[in-house]
Structure 1
Amino acid sequence: MPVLRGAVTFSRFRVEHAKEAPSDIKRWLTRGLKAHAFEPIDRRSEDDRAAGFVELENADAVDFSAGRVFYGEYALFSFRIDSLKVPAAAMKAELAKWSANFEQENDRPASRGEKTQAKAQIKQMLRTRATPRTNVLDVSWNQTTQQMQIWAASRKVVEEIVIALENALSLKFVGLTPAAIAQTSGLDEGALGPTAELIGMDLPATAEVAHGEA
């Protein structure tokens, strides 16, 4: 839980409302988070990934009461991603065991169709036993400055969270990177490059003075 326990890599954005800002921010935000709340993976389906919003201090909670989302001028919540993967080694071992038992019971090797059917059943069995891998990324939104921080290192994950927030709340996000800030301020992006002093090169004037002294 980076927001409460220490600093990690994060991406920072300025938040803009696509429409007029709602009069009741708390009700609007909690309703949007609930509409896109996390739902566990259905093990009976083919889905191997699930993602959605959860409460900051409880990755299993999706009630989003105002007291659990708003902390002073901040709205704090998390984005949970679960992935379920059947280990290839376990799949191979179970299929080999099934094939040996089949051949012993039927006095013949299993056909391709029988193996395909058995493989599907084994995969479903292993899915029910597998433990999903859970990743929880925190989001902090300053309601005064309208700056949002997404505490994730992966650009792909940050983009996924931004898209989820855009869909849930109809917001627009402007990345607060040096290039984006320069563009907003009307500065030439080329002015952001390293100076001669920074990269250890002498400026022309310095070179002339040094030549004269020699």
Structure 2
Amino acid sequence: MSKVPPLMPVLSGAVTFSRFRSEPTGDAPSDTKRWLSKGLKSGLFEPIDLKKTEDERAAGFVELENSDSTDFTTGSVLYGEYALFGYRVDTVKVPPALLKAELAKWQKEFEKREGRQPTRGEKSENRASLKHMLRQRAVPMTKVHDVSWNLKTNQVQLWAASRKTVDEILLAIEECFQVKLQPLVPASLAAQAGISDENLVPTPELIGMEISSSEIASSEVSHGDA
């Protein structure tokens, strides 16, 4: 018996998603499970190390039901003909208002202690120091975007509202899995079906240029008089 896929965003809140068709850029994988695991691990999510880096952002693949896990066992990714996983994005930012308040507090203490206002250089140096301190205390903001990949039909669905985020996930999937993702939009679907661009042009009726019966009658009368 195949496992029932966990609830995707379309069933639990968010409904914004994009659809694509995946096409291998090379030979099709002979071992789907191995190919899937290798691809996910090559682009896995790595948390931001606040002590070792000044990076403000980290992104990568995670398990769908456990966004802290990147083991990608077969049972955590494959659900029948579907591969389900997440694309996690963590950001660490110090709120400008908080930094401004801390800087004002420091400046007041400095003036009281030194009997003068701090120089521009002293302000700049302390601002950097305060920002680093506040960053160490910050809690990363996490957002996980769900990915559904039907390995039988090669259809990929991404749950993300931002065009920039969609493009980022597309690039990650294409690089890690050696595929090309084609958007499933009317123009793309028509091209796959061999329908020419000329046949996609709106008809006069569609854009409100239909000729009324009275205009037709009037035209006939004019021609009759002539």
What is the TM-score normalised by the length of structure 1? Answer: 0.90
The Cα shift of 1:53 comes to 0.6
Q: Give ranges in structure 1 of 5+ residues lacking alignment.
A: none
SS in 2 for 1:8: coil
The reply to whether residue 19 of structure 1 matches residue 38 of structure 2 is no
The Cα shift of 1:207 comes to 4.1
How far apart, in 2, do the equivalents of 1:195 and 1:201 lie?
Answer: 8
How far apart, in 2, do the equivalents of 1:109 and 1:55 lie?
Answer: 53
The answer as to whether partners of 1:3 and 1:138 remain within 8 angstroms in 2 is: no
Q: 1:120 aligns with which of 113, 116, 128?
A: 128
How far apart, in 1, do the equivalents of 2:192 and 2:44 lie?
Answer: 33
Percent identity reads: 55
The Cα shift of 1:129 comes to 2.1
How far apart, in 1, do the equivalents of 2:14 and 2:109 lie?
Answer: 54
Change (3 A) 1:70 1:106: same
1:16-72 CA-to-partner distances (Å, cap 9, x unmatched) read 111111111112111211121111122232211111011111111111111010001
Change (3 A) 1:96 1:7: closer
Change (3 A) 1:206 1:149: farther
State how many pairs are aligned.
214
RMSD: 2.3
Q: Name the aligned partner's letter for residue 77 of structure 1.
A: F
Match of 2:46 in 1: 39
Match of 2:5 in 1: none
How far apart, in 2, do the equivalents of 1:196 and 1:206 lie?
Answer: 17
Change (3 A) 1:210 1:152: farther
How far apart, in 1, do the equivalents of 2:65 and 2:218 lie?
Answer: 62
The reply to whether residue 107 of structure 1 matches residue 102 of structure 2 is no
Q: Name the aligned partner's letter for residue 117 of structure 2.
A: P
How far apart, in 2, do the equivalents of 1:4 and 1:32 lie?
Answer: 27
How far apart, in 2, do the equivalents of 1:120 and 1:13 lie?
Answer: 44
Q: Give ranges in structure 2 of 5+ residues lacking alignment.
A: 1-7, 222-226
Using the TM superposition, name which of 200-209 and 25-34 deviates more. 200-209
How far apart, in 2, do the equivalents of 1:212 and 1:115 lie?
Answer: 86
Q: Name the aligned partner's letter for residue 8 of structure 1.
A: V
Q: Name the aligned partner's letter for residue 21 of structure 2.
A: R
Change (3 A) 1:129 1:19: same
Q: 1:160 aligns with which of 143, 154, 168?
A: 168
What is the TM-score normalised by the length of structure 2? Answer: 0.85
The reply to whether residue 130 of structure 1 matches residue 145 of structure 2 is no
How far apart, in 2, do the equivalents of 1:7 and 1:196 lie?
Answer: 37
